[in-house]
């Protein structure tokens, strides 16, 4: 990024070349507008953030404490406020902190059909539209913050405070952008490999440097934490990984990142029997997990599908839905094979959707994967679908039992009960929850920790609290005490909501365009001055 003063000089040169036609143009104002619009296209964003993510991946390989994190955001404003908060609370530093775009939240909150289950029924273009919206809000956050710095610079110059001028100038020249990588959920690709490629292009053009794709059947897709998931043979999934890679390469984002998600741990069904040419090939390995009955030729029935393996006739168990089921207890083995195959077939990171947050379970699978792919790394969903309190209290309970400790005071099935909150078991469980991300980054190869739906839940919780108070006995005090007073005391930027929505930037532009004739909104009668 060129410095502010270099841009002033550049525009001043252009102005001199244009003569009187540009008499009203201020090189300083033009330089400010350039600084406030650092990223001109989504592809610029995608390349900038891909470089960040690749560097973070390399750093994690060298030091597992340098894991990355994100929260799922379902609106541009939510993503913007998250990044403003991160810069405020963490010394103006956004390192290793990303955004996550959840297909679940697009379905539940962004579809023109209204709320939908996570089954890829929402409009596919709404995913790319949300990526563009998120980056629009992040870029606006940059422009707003820089606008404040420009006003500080003007005030310092007017006051003749050279030290303040130099300090503010340095902040402008070294401004830390709110733009960070987005891991974007393309579900199962919304169709065949060509459909996946077309949607991936839209997502990358909107700014996505990282696309997550899962190995479910596209038209049977379910949320990873629900039953009824149906996986596809490896060759089908690898074709879609290739489609995403070609989309990145076509658009010039050569280091774009692909996350391969496998739902095999909890998916007991497949729609297809894989094509196999010889024993032990990928298709044969996939089929070896099918639940089959050995039969004789005489037992063949009308329309039976038969496999021949090691000289035996095997009839896969087929459900009334025409789906085939896998053998019980094969989920982890299938998951490991899926992961190895995906990394060997072009993916960069893995996502294993588990049924509980357990470092030992995740780490055991990653260890198996790393026997073949030593630098395998995971993106992991710290899912709100898990009952974290109950899961970790039960884990501590089991550790205590194994250690021979007295657990008579606890009912394992009822450990969610509030009466246990101050017990030693609960305290230990909370500490395990607190350190879960660092522990699993170190012991289970998790490079990126995300929560898919946190802002869905925070919006519901905060709205419930406000509605309860405002429409109850507290009345207006419910808003003032529960919201506005906290905003002021916690220095929440959007307490000045007009400023957050761009009022001050609009005033700046009016002055740039019309000079003293500008009719500005931020005068002495603007009630925002109360804050």
| Half-sphere exposure (Cβ direction) of 263: Cα atoms closer than 13 Å | 28
Contacts (Cβ under 8 Å, ≥6 apart) of 2: 10
Q: Are strands 349-352 and 257-262 parallel, antiparallel or unpaired?
A: parallel
With contact defined as beta carbons under 8 Å apart, do 66 and 96 qualify? yes
Catalytic status, residue 223: yes
Provide the 3-class DSSP secondary structure of residue 227. coil
Q: How far apart are CA 217 and CA 370, in angstroms?
A: 27
Radius of gyration of the chain (CA): 28
Q: How far apart are CA 265 and CA 337, in angstroms?
A: 11
Residue 397 CB neighbour total at 10 angstroms: 19
Q: How far apart are CA 224 and CA 355, in angstroms?
A: 9
> How many residues are present in the chain?
531
Task: Tell me the two tokens of residue 359.
Answer: 């470092």
With contact defined as beta carbons under 8 Å apart, do 67 and 448 qualify? yes
Task: Tell me the two tokens of residue 526.
Answer: 């603007």
Q: How far apart are CA 272 and CA 269, in angstroms?
A: 9
Active-site choice (209, 210, 223, 339): 223
DSSP letters along 277-331, please?
A: SSTTSHHHHHHTTB-EEEE-GGG--TT---EEETTEEEEE-B-TTS-EEBPTT-H
Among positive and negative, which fits the CA dihedral 186, 192, 193, 197?
negative
Q: How far apart are CA 437 and CA 448, in angstroms?
A: 9
Q: How far apart are CA 408 and CA 377, in angstroms?
A: 40
Burial class (CB in 10 A: 0-12, 13-18, 19+), 126: middle
Enumerate the β-bridge partners of residue 326. Answer: 290
With contact defined as beta carbons under 8 Å apart, do 99 and 178 qualify? no
Residues annotated as part of the active site: 223
């Amino acid at each position: 990024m060129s410095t502010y003063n270099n841009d002033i000089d550049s525009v001043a040169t252009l102005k001199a070349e244009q003569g009187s036609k540009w008499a009203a143009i201020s090189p300083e104002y033009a330089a400010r507008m350039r600084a406030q619009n650092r990223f001109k296209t989504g592809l610029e964003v995608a390349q900038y953030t891909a470089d960040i993510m690749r560097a973070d991946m390399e750093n994690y390989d060298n030091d597992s404490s340098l894991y990355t994190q994100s929260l799922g955001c379902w609106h541009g404003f939510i993503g913007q406020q998250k990044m403003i908060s991160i810069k405020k609370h963490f010394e103006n530093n956004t390192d290793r902190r990303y955004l996550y775009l959840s297909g679940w939240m697009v379905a539940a909150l962004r579809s023109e059909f209204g709320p939908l289950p996570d089954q890829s029924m929402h409009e596919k273009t709404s995913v790319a539209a949300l990526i563009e919206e998120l980056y629009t809000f992040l870029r606006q956050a940059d422009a707003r913050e820089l606008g404040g710095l420009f006003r500080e610079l003007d005030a310092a110059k007017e006051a003749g405070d050279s030290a303040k001028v130099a300090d503010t100038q340095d902040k402008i020249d070294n401004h830390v952008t709110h733009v960070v990588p987005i891991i974007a959920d393309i579900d199962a690709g919304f169709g065949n490999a060509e459909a996946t490629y077309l949607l991936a292009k839209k997502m990358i053009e909107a700014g996505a440097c990282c696309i997550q794709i899962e190995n479910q059947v596209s038209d049977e897709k379910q949320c990873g934490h629900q039953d009824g998931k149906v996986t596809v043979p490896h060759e089908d999934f690898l074709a879609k990984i290739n489609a995403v890679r070609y989309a990145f390469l076509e658009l010039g984002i050569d280091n774009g990142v692909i996350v391969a998600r496998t739902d095999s741990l909890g998916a007991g069904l497949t729609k297809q029997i894989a094509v196999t040419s010889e024993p032990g090939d990928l298709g044969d390995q996939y089929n070896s997990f099918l639940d089959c009955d050995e039969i004789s030729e005489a037992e063949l029935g009308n329309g039976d599908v038969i496999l021949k393996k090691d000289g035996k006739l095997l009839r896969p168990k087929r459900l009334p839905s025409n789906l085939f089921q896998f053998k019980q207890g094969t989920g982890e083995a299938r998951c490991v094979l899926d992961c190895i195959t995906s990394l060997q077939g072009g993916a960069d990171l893995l996502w294993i959707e588990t049924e509980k947050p357990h470092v030992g379970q995740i780490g055991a699978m990653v260890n198996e994967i790393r026997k073949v792919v030593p630098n395998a790394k995971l993106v992991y969903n710290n899912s709100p679908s898990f009952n974290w309190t109950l899961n970790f209290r039960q884990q501590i309970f089991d550790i205590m039992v194994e250690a021979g400790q007295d657990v008579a005071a606890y009912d394992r099935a009822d450990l969610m009960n509030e009466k246990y909150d101050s017990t030693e078991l609960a305290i230990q469980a909370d500490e395990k929850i607190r350190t879960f991300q660092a522990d699993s980054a170190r012991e289970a190869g998790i490079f990126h920790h995300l929560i898919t739906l946190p802002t869905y839940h925070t919006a519901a919780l905060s709205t419930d609290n406000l509605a309860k108070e405002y429409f109850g006995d507290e009345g207006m005090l419910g808003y003032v005490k529960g919201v506005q007073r906290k905003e002021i005391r916690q220095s929440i930027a959007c307490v000045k909501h007009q400023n957050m929505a761009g009022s001050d930037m609009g005033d700046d532009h009016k002055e740039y365009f019309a000079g003293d004739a500008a009719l500005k909104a931020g005068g002495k009668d603007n009630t925002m001055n109360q804050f």
